[in-house]
Structure 1
Amino acid sequence: MLAGLAGAFVAATFALIVAEPYVDAAIAFEARHAAHAGGVELVSRATQKTLGLYTAMMLYGTALGGLLAIVVAACHGRVGAIPPRALAVLLAALACVVLVLAPALKYPPTPPAVGLHETVRLRTGAFLGMLAGSLLAALAGAWAAQRLGAVLTRLDRWLAGGLVYLAAVALVAALLPHVDEVPADFPASLLWQYRVAAIAGQMIFWLVTAELFGRLAQPLLAPRVSR
């Protein structure tokens, strides 16, 4: 959990420096075009992108750091002779694919001024459905790889598990509703830069958390060598 807290701090700092300027630019675009521009802010932007950003990210990171530790402990010794540090980084890389990239391909991150207020519930539910579907598809791929262990080599069965994941996640994406609410006059470069920064921030969180956790867990989980 401490590793997740540290990873979230690094990711929040990255977001503050890299992603928040794009959010400010999107808010400025919305203020110029929205009919309700000029309304009173319930929470100031200065608070949102400092205290609010760090509070939310660090709570999120602490929880996911604990979950990463549980998954590493469950997999340690059961997926081959992989050292704890390497296992943590491998699982973090898988989390980047399953929990970040796959949902973002169907429902990419969007800054303010993109998306209608009337469809917030639909978009939130669809994104959570894609996230859950990607996680279940990954579990199905892992199960398939394990079941094929008796007839295929290790590489072949993990390739087969990867194909099962891709097929299942593609099916989930096809069944979920399509959402495209980007205004025609919204700057394409701003949208692209925000999405890259948002995804990069998530990857930074996972990799920093896994690396720090792996370094701390390695001496505890690795077998001790007798003199």
Structure 2
Amino acid sequence: MNSATVRNLLVRGMLAGLAAGLAALVVAYFLGEPRVDEAIAFEEAHAHEHGGEELVTRTLQSTAGLSTGVLVYGVAFGGIAALAYCFALGRIGRFGPRASALLLAGAGLLAVYVVPFLKYPANPPAVGNPDTLDQRTTLYFLMVVLSVLLAVGTVILGKRLAPRLGNWNATVAAAGSFVLVVGLAYAFLPSYNEAPAEFPATLLWQYRLAALAVQATLWTAFGLVFGLLAERLLTPRTEPRTATAAPATPVPN
């Protein structure tokens, strides 16, 4: 793949990331923000001391702040995903540009977010001990790196086993290895359950499901939009056939 194609895919990836960010923004605003407001209300109701005046109002945070953060993240995410697509295209099987984009988006969602999320799920305000914030952040990113490396290793292992076991058996064996190692990581890495006893369990899981929905929307929308744009770029256009006039048949006198 030449540099011009990579550059064109990068631009299309950023545009697809922007479109995916818009879709994720809608989900975040209507599903996530109400849960955040409820968690903040709980935190304020149970706070022993009140801080000073807030520098940024909650309204500004949930509108302009949320929009800026999600859209900038979407563009950056789209660019990185497009570069990963350039590397993966043709190396993950005989799939077309659109199917490869969807497969990459699905694998990325699983490795980058779902696997770490199941071990260290997102927490709303009022949940989590500030004293363990650094440890939890470090462990979360460690889980992300481990999951991504395992996903790459799973693809490599599957391709190595395919000539001997066949595609189906190789895929099952590689996926089983991925699940096994992830399970061991879940078992040996420390866990944190720091939700206050009086914090509503329903609100906690609604917030976490909303966070999962935002990421699922982002990755799915990116896969669909970028797949379409990549296919239009990479699939050669067929010139329409021009109808040739049939030679005139002489009319007998």
TM-score with structure 2 setting the length: 0.85
1:31 aligns with 2:44: yes
Tell me if structure 2 keeps the 8 A contact 1:8–1:57. yes
Residue by residue over 1:50-102, the C-alpha shift from the partner in whole angstroms, topping out at 9 and shown as x without a partner, is 11111111221111111221222222223332111111111111112111211
Q: Which residue pairs with 2:120 in the alignment?
A: 107
| Whole-Å separation in 2 of the counterparts to 1:21 and 1:9 | 18
1:172 aligns with 2:168: no
Q: Which residue pairs with 1:59 in the alignment?
A: 72
Greater CA deviation, 64-73 or 124-133? 64-73
Which 4+ runs in 1 deviate beyond 6 A?
none
| Whole-Å separation in 2 of the counterparts to 1:131 and 1:40 | 36
Letter in 2 for 1:179: Y
Q: Which of the two has higher C-alpha Rg?
A: 2
Q: Which residue pairs with 1:161 in the alignment?
A: 174
Structure 2 unaligned spans of 5+: 1-13, 242-253
> Identity rate of aligned residues, in percent?
43
Alignment of 1:206-225 (within 5 A): 206-225=219-238
Tell me if structure 2 keeps the 8 A contact 1:4–1:66. yes
Correspondent of 1:198 among 182, 190, 211: 211
Q: Secondary structure at the match of 1:6?
A: helix
Q: Secondary structure at the match of 2:22?
A: helix
1:120 aligns with 2:137: no
TM-score with structure 1 setting the length: 0.94
Tell me if structure 2 keeps the 8 A contact 1:130–1:173. no
| Whole-Å separation in 2 of the counterparts to 1:124 and 1:42 | 25
Tell me if structure 1 keeps the 8 A contact 2:162–2:169. no
* Number of matched pairs: 227
Greater CA deviation, 38-47 or 14-23? 38-47
| Whole-Å separation in 1 of the counterparts to 2:238 and 2:180 | 44
Tell me if structure 1 keeps the 8 A contact 2:102–2:223. yes
Tell me if structure 2 keeps the 8 A contact 1:98–1:134. yes
| Whole-Å separation in 2 of the counterparts to 1:127 and 1:169 | 13
Tell me if structure 1 keeps the 8 A contact 2:92–2:155. no
